[in-house]
Amino acid sequence: MPAAMAKSLAASKKKADRVEQEEPEEPSENGFVREYGDQEEESERSDAVGSSEDERSSGEGEKDGKDDGKIHQSSEESDSSEDEVAPRNTIGEVPLEWYKDEEHIGYDITGKKIRKHARKDKIDSFLAGVDDSKNWRKIYDEYNDEEVELTREEIRIIRRLLKGRTPHAEVDPYAPYVDWFDWEDKGHPLSNAPEPKRRFIPSKWEQKKVVQYVRAIRKGLIKFDKPKEEPPFYLLWGDDSSVAENKRHGLSYIPAPKPKLAGHEESYNPSIEYIPTQEEINSYQLMFEEDRPKFIPRRYESLRSVPAYENALKEGFDRCLDLYLCPRTRKKRINIDPESLRPKLPSKKDLKPYPLTCYLEYRGHSGPVNSISIEVSGQWIASGSTDGMVRIWEVETGRCLRVWDIGEAVQHIAWNPLPELPILAVSAGHEVHLLNTGLGDAEEKMHIKELLHVEEVLTDDAGNSASAVSWVQHEKHDGITLKHLKTVSTVEWHRKGDYFTTVMPSGDSRAVLIHQLSKKHTANPIKKLRAPAVSAVFHPTRPFFFISTKKNVRVYDLSKNKLIKKLEPGLREVSSIAIHPGGDNVIVGSKEGKMCWFDMDLSSQPYKRLPAHPKDITNVAFHRSYPLFASCSDDCTAYVFHGMVYSDLNQNPLIVPLEILHGHTSSNGRGVLDCKFHPRQPWLFTAGADSVIKLYCH
Amino acid sequence: MDANGGSMETSRQVRVRFATKLPPPLRVPTTSLAVPSNLSRMGLSEIVNHLLKNMDSGYQFQPFDFLVDGELVRMPLEQFLLAKGISAEKVLEIEYINAVAPRKQEDPCLHDDWVSAVDGSNPSFILTGCYDGLARIWKGGSVCTHILEGHSGAVTAASVINRKEESENSFYVATGSKDRSLRLWKFDAGEHVDHPLRIRAYKIFQEHTSSVQSISSAPSGDMVCSGSWDCSIKLWEVKESEAEGDSVSIKKRKLLSDAAEQESQLEGTATSTLVGHAQCVSSVVWPELQTIYSASWDHSIRQWDVQTGNETWNMVCGKALNCLDVGGESSALVVAGGSDPVLRIWDPRKPGTLAPIFQFSSHSSWITASKWHTRSWFHLLSASYDGKVMLWDLRTAWPLATIDSHKDKVLCADWWKDDSVISGGADSKLFICSGIQI
């Protein structure tokens, strides 16, 4: 035992005596203190007690420091309440002797040195021990550089440890043993014997056996993978079409088509009933080669007389050709029912009525009929032809009621939409004529006569527009002639029957003019058009105005006089335009034969492009009340479509192609030049280049 | 081989007994005969003719038509029995009637323009309306005795008013025209004329605002109704109003067409207007005192009560209608033709169905006229734009006869004197086919 040890032991003995003095009920067994003390944290205390009391030599201190480091490591593992307080020491886990000669111990957070408390010298500590009766409880903690006062609880634990008992009084280390195992009815006792050694060492005999096998394999005495026995027989007529069996051939297996099994008729000596008569054999010659029977049964007296197969060589050659020319590959074919790809459309039957058959023809013109127009009530139809004639026909009978000779090829014709104003607007050459048809009753006739009267040539009252158009009384047919500067292509009425518009495709800034019949006034509201105008139409309900140029369709608001929309059909050359009576849908026909349906609320792009005519579309038309629209083309046909526009804005228009109307004949490469619906019946009028107007009825 | 087959066929026979309702010289003995089953109508007719010849050596052959179970035989007897499911074992009762076909074609009456209206309700003359604005009276179907002039537009409708008058030969007719007016005319058919007599209307009705399309006179003869393009039906009094002192409406009229004319004519006003159609009223019929039927381009047929002016029944048929007639069984069947080649017959007494009970579709274009025979329940005629007039029997689906004399559209047709069909068309001719035995 080193001297220091003995010294501290002595000190602790002294201290213990003092404790005994204070608490005489605890017996002091000094002899055991040292042995138990260095095991638990209490040993630290006892050490600390020792060190705080005794002055030490440097060697002792060094040893104590080492001791301290070890103890602190163990104390960290413990869960005593003291450790939960953060250590005040900032030096970390370094030996304290590094700071032995320093004034400070570690640094605080601001980087300043933490100064060591001034050590009490021995006299001070002695005096303190004399003054304070509880001073013996205080221990100096060198690591944290502070004095710690032991509580009564801690001292009690120390005492118990000194006496060699468990630190806590409530723990009973010698509790009676509870035998939990049920020993009854057990045949054998559970052996507590350790595992024998032989269990852990490899068997010598097994090793010998393995060596034996290895040698046998090496010598080839033992063989693996016995060769599979080929079955000596196989099913000749078996079904080799099952793909699973033939998988192992590697390539994807295509079963060869099964030939029919041979029957009686293929026998060399079949019964009489199998042998065809000569007539039948002759009749085979009349059949198609593919339909002829491949094998004609014949009769031979014996098998000897059966000749060689005459086609053997040819068929062998064919087979070789097949193998050479037709690699047997599997074509990946997608099996889709073509019907399923078709869009679901309602059947045509449900969409009746629509124009179907031509029952009436209106014959009388001697040139291509350029334009037709039907009176609002549907009783009369007017037509204009390149032979310079304007005719009025009775729809019901096909009777020509009246003829005007305009003298120039009529381009376009339009009936005034008011039933009480049966006036025709006819564009021919540079002129637009307003003709009095004389169909109204006496009172209306008077009114029309007044309306169609111009006193003098109205000129120079409004510079610009007057120079574009002059209103002149027509002498021959009581009416008005509007003389334009350029050729007028179309003339269209406003729904109220007072305004009408004319289009001069080559009129530049004056291409589109709006005329007022009651005031005999002409206005030119739209001056700037990028492309040559084709036609102009009024909106059926609102003050909008549609001008179709060759490239696009422009929609103007006439009340504000500005462009509100531009529809882009994306077609090569627009030829015609029609507005749905609801006013929100527009169809545009083009010279390349395509037709576009625009939903004005949707976008300026077409809602749908419709099947193409092989030739130019000459006109498109909507029905006023039935959900029908039509297009006519130079290919001598007119297409009729079902075009349902729903009042529900969320529902897109339903478009179903219904019928292709044939009947017109081509003349000079032109086919059907105009098509118009009857205003009240689901009937379509078509005007052809063959100078006939046809009426298609439902 | 054929001969063999033929013998096989002929061996099959049907026992028949001929019966008829025709008068005695045309009756055959009622004994049953065995006839080959492949005989058609022609063969049967031959047998009957031979039987009649046996009875009376001076007999002239004539065609007959044969009825089995109320159906005309239109195919070989065997086929017919098979189709109708009639047993060939029993003795077959065959009724024979005179074949309905025109036997004689009279000379056509030439007009100056399209013949658009014809009325043959009076056996002594035919009334025609023409597109030149004149109506004509053809006495006996051959001579034009009167020309009714005054309309400034094409005459589209004409009707003879069957009025009981004091004098035997005085007749009233009404015409309607595209000049929106109706005119009533009175003429004396008794007077002998060398030249057609030009007469003027005694009364003019001007209230229609559009072309008059159809006219029908009441059975009593004191009213006329007219259908027009202005969608209305108007009823007019026929009475000669100067007797009534209807002086308010008397005024001098200056006709636009003829300014020199200064004759005083009466103007009448409509007693009532039946409103309900949405489009041109193309045809009106007044079969009974209290009911008017009308057909319109708005695809409907309506029945009106004259007293109240209310619509009592209507039916939508899906096609624009051009012509209408009421007749047949107890004068209740409605026949109408329109903007398709199908002649349809409805029975308004059947409730809850709009399906036509008969449909005849041998025409190839619009039907412009359809008329029931006045006496027969089964016979009717139809005229079409395909230039044909067809006679129909309800007991078979094939036309009895087709009159193909028109070169252009047939615009109007009617029965005349019970045994003739008169038809006018766009070739400006009025054809009369007579000798139809019904």
Amino acid A1: pLDDT = 41
Report the mean per-residue pLDDT for chain A. Answer: 78
CATH homologous superfamily for A349-697? YVTN repeat-like/Quinoprotein amine dehydrogenase (2.130.10.10)
Which of B210, B297, B339 has its CB closest to that of A359? B339
Round the average pLDDT of chain B to a whole number and report it.
82
Confidence (pLDDT) at A207 = 95
Chain-chain contact of A398 with B409 (C-beta, under 8 angstroms):
yes
Lookup: tokens for A4:
């220091």
- pLDDT value of residue A218: 93
Q: How far apart are CA B76 and CA B71, in angstroms?
A: 13
Whether residue A359 and residue B341 make contact (CB cut-off 8 A), yes or no, is yes
User: Could you tell me which residue, B270 or A243, shows the higher pLDDT?
Assistant: B270
What does the pLDDT read at residue A249?
56
Report which of B289, B249, B291 is spatially closest to residue B266, judged by C-alpha positions. B249
B120's enclosing H/E stretch is none
CA–CA separation, A63 and A7 (whole Å): 14
| A365, pLDDT greater than 80 | yes
What's the whole-number mean pLDDT along residues A46-69? 41
Q: Distance (Å, rounded) from C-alpha A250 to C-alpha A245?
A: 11
Report which of residues B428 and A249 the model is more confident about: B428
Q: Identity (one letter) of the amino acid at A324?
A: Y
How confident is the model over B108-123, as a mean pLDDT? 87
Distance of CA A660 to the CA centre of its chain: 37
CB–CB contact A681 B280 (8 Å) = no
How do residues A579-625 score in pLDDT, each as one tens digit?
Answer: 888 888 888 888 888 888 888 887 888 888 887 788 888 889 999 88
* Whether B88 contacts B37, CB under 8 Å: yes
On whether any CB of chain B is under 8 Å from the CB of A449, the answer is no
Whole-number Å distance between alpha carbons of A437 and A390: 11
Classify each residue of A682-693 as buried b or exposed e, where b means 16 or more C-beta atoms within 10 Å of its C-beta. bbbbbbbbbbbb
**pLDDT tens digits along A397-454:** 888 888 888 888 888 898 888 888 888 888 888 888 888 887 777 777 778 777 777 7
| Residue of A376, A399, A418 to mutate when probing chain B, most B C-beta within 10 A | A399
**Structural tokens at position B265:** 């004519």
pLDDT level of residue A59 (50, 70, 90 thresholds): very low
A357: CB partners within 8 A, 6+ apart:
A696, A697, B340
Q: Which residue has the higher pLDDT, B37 or B191?
A: B37
- Axis-axis angle for helices A30-37, A41-53 (nearest 10): 110
Please report the pLDDT score of residue A238 as a whole number. Answer: 66
CA B268 → CA A66, A296, A638, B248, B397, distances in Å?
145, 95, 48, 10, 46
Place of tokens 């051939």: A249
Closest CA to B138 of B124, B129, B126, B151: B126
pLDDT at A458 over 60: no
pLDDT of res. A212: 95
Q: What is the mean pLDDT of residues A141-153?
A: 82
Enter the tokens of residue A48. 């600390």
Q: Average of pLDDT values for B420-438? A: 86
pLDDT score of A443: 77
Tell whether A396 is within 8 A of chain B (Cβ): yes
- pLDDT higher than threshold 50 for residue A555: yes
For residues A208-212, average pLDDT:
96
Mutate to test the interface with B, among A361, A393, A396 (most CBs of B within 10 A): A396
Residue A406's pLDDT is what?
A: 83
What pLDDT is recorded for position A85? 56
**Calpha distance A448→A420 (Å, rounded):** 9
Q: What is the rounded distance in angstroms from the CA atom of residue A377 to the CA atom of residue A417?
A: 9
> What does each C-alpha distance from B429 to B128, B422, B424 come to in angstroms?
10, 10, 6
B417 touches chain A (CB under 8 A): no
Q: Which residues of A touch B295 (CB under 8 A)?
A: none
pLDDT score at A61: 40
Residue A379: which of B211, B320, B322 has the nearest Cβ? B211
DSSP per-residue string spanning A40-80: SHHHHHHHHHHHHHS---HHHHHHHHHHHHHHHHHHHHS--
Q: By CA distance, what is B211's nearest residue in A?
A: A379
Q: What angle do CA A604, A609, A612 make, to 5 degrees?
A: 145
Per-residue pLDDT band at A210 (split at 50, 70, 90): very high
Task: Look at residue B247 in the predicted model and tell me its pLDDT.
Answer: 38
Looking at beta carbons, which residues of chain B come within 8 Å of A441? 180, 209
Q: Tokens at residue B6, please?
A: 């033929």
Q: Which residue has the higher pLDDT, B320 or A4?
A: B320
Q: Which strand (E) or helix (H) includes residue B265?
A: strand B264-268
Q: What is the tens place of the pLDDT at every residue in A89-112?
A: 677 778 888 888 888 878 888 888
Instruction: Answer yes or no: do B114 and A698 touch at CB < 8 A.
Output: no
Instruction: Let me know: does A630 contact A586? Beta carbons within 8 Å.
Output: no
Chain A: closest CA distance from residue B100 (Å): 29
Which residue among A377, A379, A399 places its CB closest to the CB of B114?
A399
Who wins on pLDDT, B244 or B392? B392
Strands (DSSP E) found in A476-633: 479-484, 490-493, 499-503, 512-516, 521-523, 533-538, 544-549, 553-557, 562-567, 574-579, 585-590, 595-599, 608-610, 617-622, 628-633
Q: Would you state the structure tokens that stand for residue A633, as one six-digit string?
A: 């083309």
The arithmetic mean of pLDDT across residues A629-656, rounded, is 87
**pTM, 2 dp:** 0.66
Measured from the Cβ of residue A177, the count of other Cβ atoms closer than 10 Å reads 6
CA distances (Å), origin A338, targets A345, A657, A659: 15, 19, 22
Instruction: State the average pLDDT over residues A69-91.
Output: 51
CA–CA separation, A455 vs A453, rounded Å?
6
Give the pair of three-digit tokens for residue A22.
Answer: 């204070």
The residue among B211, B339, B412 with the most chain A CBs within 10 A of its CB, best to mutate, is B339
One-letter amino acid for residue A371 of the chain: S
Q: CA–CA separation, A468 vs A456, rounded Å?
A: 17
pLDDT score recorded for residue A241: 58
Express each pLDDT in B152-187 by its tens digit.
888 999 998 887 665 667 888 889 988 888 888 888
Alpha-helical regions (H) of B87-154: none
With contact defined as beta carbons under 8 Å apart, do B124 and B140 qualify? yes
pLDDT tier for residue A64 given thresholds of 50, 70 and 90: very low
Q: At what angle do helices A58-77 and A41-53 cross, to 10 degrees?
A: 150
Phi-psi region at B46: left, alpha or beta (left = phi > 0; alpha = psi -120 to 50): alpha
- 3-state class of A521 per DSSP? strand
pLDDT of A214 above 90: yes
Integer CA distances (angstroms), A404 to A400, A407, A473, B209, in order: 11, 9, 16, 25
**For residues A129-140, average pLDDT:** 80
What is the DSSP code string of A371-426? EEEE-TTSSEEEEEETTSEEEEEETTT--EEEEEE-SS-EEEEEE-S-TT--EEEE
**What residues in A contact B385, CB-CB < 8 Å?**
359-360
DSSP string, A112-169: PEEEPPPPP-HHHHHHHHHH-TTGGGEEEETTTTEEEEPPHHHHHHHHHHHTTS-SST
Chain position carrying tokens 């000049």: B179
Residue A231 in this model has a pLDDT that exceeds 50: yes
* Contact call for residues A489 and A503 (beta carbons, < 8 A): yes
Q: Is A275 exposed, middle or buried (0-12, 13-18, 19+ CB in 10 A)?
A: middle
Residue B28 to residue A300: CA distance in whole angstroms: 71
Q: What is the distance between the alpha carbons of residues A581 and A624, in angstroms, rounded to a whole number? A: 6
Q: How many pairs of residues across A and B have Cβ atoms under 8 Å apart?
A: 52
| Distance between CA atoms of residues B217 and B235, nearest Å | 9
List the Cα angle B228/B232/B235 in 5-degree steps.
Answer: 90
Report the pLDDT averaged over residues B373-388. Answer: 88
Confidence band for A72, pLDDT divided at 50, 70 and 90: very low
Q: Which residues contact B423 (CB under 8 A, 6 or more apart)?
A: B118, B369, B383, B389, B403, B406, B410, B412, B413, B414, B430, B431, B433
Nearest to B318 among A353, A360, A397 (CB): A353
B116, B297, B385 ranked by CB distance to A359: nearest? B385
Is residue A527's pLDDT more than 50?
A: yes
pLDDT for A421 equals 82
Residue B409 sits at the chain A interface (C-beta within 8 Å): yes
pLDDT digits (tens, 9 = 90+) for A285-308: 888 887 888 888 989 999 999 998
Q: DSSP class of residue A435? A: E
- Which ranges constitute the DSSP H helices of A425-534? 442-451, 463-468
Integer distance in angstroms from the first to the last C-alpha of chain A? 132
DSSP run (H or E) holding A322: helix A312-325
Token representation of residue B41 = 């109508």
What distance in Å separates residue B332's CA from the closest CA in chain A? Answer: 28
Q: How confident is the model at residue B254 (pLDDT cuts 50, 70, 90)?
A: very low
At CA B340, angle to CA B336 and CA B341, rounded to 5?
85
| Strand-pair category, B92-98 with B13-20 | parallel
